[in-house]
Amino acid sequence: MNANRKLHDLGQSLWLDNITRNLLKTGGLRRYIDELSITGLTSNPTIFDHAIKNGSDYDDAIKSKLAQGKSGEKLFFELALDDLTQAADLFRPVFDRTSGVDGWVSLEVSPLLAYDTKATLAEAKDLHARANRPNLLIKIPGTKEGLPAIEEAIFSGIPINVTLLFSDEQYVAAAEAFMRGIERRIEAGLNPDIASVASLFISRWDVAVASKVPEALANQLGIAVAKRAYKAYLDLLRSPRWMRSYNAGARPQRLLWASTGTKDPKASDVLYINALAAPFTVNTMPEGTLKAFADHGGVGAPMPMDGGDCEEVLARFAAAKVDVRALADQLQSEGAKSFVNSWNDLLSMIGSKSAALKRAS
């Protein structure tokens, strides 16, 4: 039994942080499902940018959509929906077998809308309707402006992947937005069984402080923040407020570990996978990390439910002049800007590729 299967059997869902047309066409995703215990996937603009730019797999589809008068953002979303609906269909048996707990794929709204509540909600509704798949999550950033859109989307019955979370405080704010949407559905007599995950980014913490703390603290901050958030997650799950909603038919929002590829070349390539083993969570990992864990990963004791040594570790960072709360806000702000840059790069690349394909035809 490989390490991926052991981690799955521990109770953690393994999702792939990648989607390409080639992965679908060659049967690679099917093999990951069958052999490496993958039960879902996530996507983002950078993933699509690399996939479209570094090959010809999308060229025929782009030419076809150009002939239909599509361009720019509209053309991209059609390409993304083509891929993600195929992936959703591959994961549909998992979705059915787990009664909707697992088997999800994710599509992100335009990052340009991160601070526009009304436009974010409108695009979330549109993309979900166009996908027409029960196992597609719409990704909405957990920014201050994104929280009302998350609440409204949940109330509207749209499954949501809350992205761009960096701390336990940001996670709790997103979880409460989810719960408000669920409670409003219960009050309105609507089915409260709406799925959601809350994505906490891990490795960016360690990148942010790599040059600012002693070597002894290297690659420890992201894991400590995750442990603190895991405790907050479990505290919410067993709170009277959440239990009342479960009793009315709601399902829990699951905590998801994102950004779990190791950035430090001196550290283990499965550092975060080993450390973040926790039942009833999701770990979405890059393709290289997935393969590395299957090859030489190990599954030890699960993450402590009480946060373990997180407060001790975080106190050491505080002594090293790291303000974790302020850094969380900075990382979220920088993350939103990075998403916008990736989105602009994607649309620019689609524009240049479209022009080249027109010239060649």
Residue 328 tokens, joined: 């969380």
Identity of the residue numbered 356: A
Give the DSSP letter of residue 188.
T
Neighbours of 22 (CB within 10 A): 14
Residue 182 tokens, joined: 């669920």
Contact yes or no for 82/105 (Cβ under 8 A):
no
Cα(139)–Cα(119) distance, integer angstroms: 14
Identity of the residue numbered 91: F
* Residues paired with 138 in a beta bridge: 107, 160
* Residues paired with 258 in a beta bridge: 201
Residues 6+ apart with CB under 8 A from 232: 168, 171, 172
SS3 266: coil
Contact yes or no for 79/127 (Cβ under 8 A):
no
Cα(107)–Cα(111) distance, integer angstroms: 11
**HSE of 174 in the Cβ direction (CA atoms, 13 Å)?**
31
Position 114 scores a pLDDT of: 77
Q: Is 116 left (phi over 0), alpha (psi -120 to 50) or beta?
A: beta
Rg (CA), the chain: 20
**HSE of 161 in the Cβ direction (CA atoms, 13 Å)?**
29
One digit per residue, pLDDT tens: the chain, 361 residues? 689 999 999 999 999 999 999 999 999 999 999 999 999 999 988 888 888 888 888 999 999 999 998 989 999 999 999 999 999 999 999 999 999 999 999 999 998 887 788 898 999 999 999 999 999 999 999 999 899 999 999 999 999 999 999 999 999 999 999 999 999 999 999 999 999 999 999 999 999 999 999 999 999 999 999 999 999 999 999 999 999 999 999 999 999 999 999 999 999 999 999 999 999 999 999 999 999 999 999 898 999 999 999 999 999 999 999 999 999 999 999 999 998 999 999 999 999 988 888 888 7
Neighbours of 10 (CB within 10 A): 15
Active site residue 139: yes
Cβ neighbourhood burial of 241 (10 Å; 0-12, 13-18, 19+): exposed
Position 55 scores a pLDDT of: 82
Which of 164, 57, 68 minimizes the C-alpha distance to 120? 164
Residues 6+ apart with CB under 8 A from 257: 199, 200, 202, 226, 272, 276, 281, 282, 283, 284
Position 46 scores a pLDDT of: 86
Residue 339 tokens, joined: 């998403």
What is the enclosing helix (H) or strand (E) of 138?
A: strand 136-141
Ordered structural domains, the chain, with CATH: 3-360 (3.20.20.70)
Cβ neighbourhood burial of 188 (10 Å; 0-12, 13-18, 19+): exposed
Which of 1, 7, 2, 6 minimizes the C-alpha distance to 284? 7
Cα(288)–Cα(39) distance, integer angstroms: 17
Contact yes or no for 333/36 (Cβ under 8 A):
no
Position 2 scores a pLDDT of: 87
Choosing from 139, 144, 263, 337, which is the catalytic residue? 139
pTM of the model: 0.95
